[in-house]
Amino acid sequence: MKKTWLITGVSSGLGRLLAEKALTRGDRVLGTSRNADALAELRRAYPNRLRILAVDLQDEGSVRTAVDDAFGGSGRIDIVVSNAGYGLLGAAEEASDSQVRDIIDTNLIGAIALIRAVLPHLRRQGGGRILQVSSEGGQIAYPGFSLYHATKWGIEGFVEAVAQEIAPFGIEITLVEPGPARTGFGNNLARTEPLASYAETPAGSLRDALGDGAWTIKGDPDRMTDAMMDLADHGGPLPKRLVLGTDAYANVRSVLLERLDELDRQKHISLAADFTEAELTNLKP
């Protein structure tokens, strides 16, 4: 059965690849971009099945208007892919106030606005699927990407709660967590103004590794988007998370084990922080 997709950030990277694959197999795509003229060659190739909507993710009204337009013009939308966003490289102290606001407005508030805007439509049509593109950086953290991680950890908490809220309506949502991939993400990083104090720190070392190509990027965007297509077509319930990439799997697994070990080592402290059963019986409700 042919599907209709709504994909944000469709002009490049994973968003563009998803759009191309969906169109190639005969699906319809409504893509969002800052530029309504994006993907001109694809629009010429698929004039009846690809439509581009201009959206500014920092403008919640723009997001809501585009979503209403998408559902109003196409009827049912089966898959919503919240993909748009960018990275900011630099230590937290180096970032300007405007850089902090911009990445949170785009990556976090923009993604929240999109999900909130599509939910009434998905409820009315009796269900649908949302793929929220997060990152391995939604579960782990690299020095030099603190503000990027703030947005990804933030959207993960939001989605975890929303998934429980919308399950009764037949709406499913998965956090897709790719590791570093050979898209244009690295080339399009926003960057802070470096402070000399951070040159010999982990944040400075990572900045240097990215600059001189010492960080080998293993992630294949083509295989990652194949996995996302499979997820959209999956016959059973969707997983809460889908981690993509060898390094992402190893990194997330290692961090989760470390976190669990630390939690277990603190168990006696955690359990001692409650009222005792005897004390509770003497407390007013």
Distances (CA, A) of 17 to 29, 174, 203, 223: 12, 19, 31, 10
- Nearest in space to 31 (alpha carbons), one of 58, 4, 62: 4
Distance of CA 269 to the CA centre of its chain: 35
* Distance in angstroms (rounded) separating the CA atoms of residues 252 and 272: 30
Among the listed residues 3, 46, 146, 148, the single catalytic one is 148
Residue 21 catalytic? no
Active-site residue identified among 33, 46, 152, 198: 152
Q: Which two tokens stand for residue 217?
A: 């990027």
**Phi and psi for 5 in degrees, rounded to 5?**
-115, 145
C-beta neighbour count of 12 within 10 angstroms: 17
Tokens of 79: 């898959």
Torsion of CA 122, 126, 131, 132, to 10 degrees: 40
Verify whether residue 148 is a known catalytic residue.
Answer: yes
The SS3 call for residue 4 is: strand
* Helix (H/G/I), strand (E/B), else coil: 9: coil
Q: Count the Cβ atoms, other than its own, within 10 Å of residue 270.
A: 10
Catalytic residue (one of 134, 135, 146, 198): 134
**Is residue 152 flagged as an active site residue?**
yes
127: how many CB neighbours lie within 10 A of its CB? 13
Q: What is the DSSP string of 151-162?
A: HHHHHHHHHHHH
- List, in sequence order, every beta strand (DSSP E) within the chain: 4-7, 28-33, 50-54, 79-82, 88-89, 128-133, 171-178, 190-191, 241-244
Beta-carbon contacts of 196 under 8 Å, excluding residues fewer than 6 positions away, are none
- Report the catalytic residues: 134, 148, 152
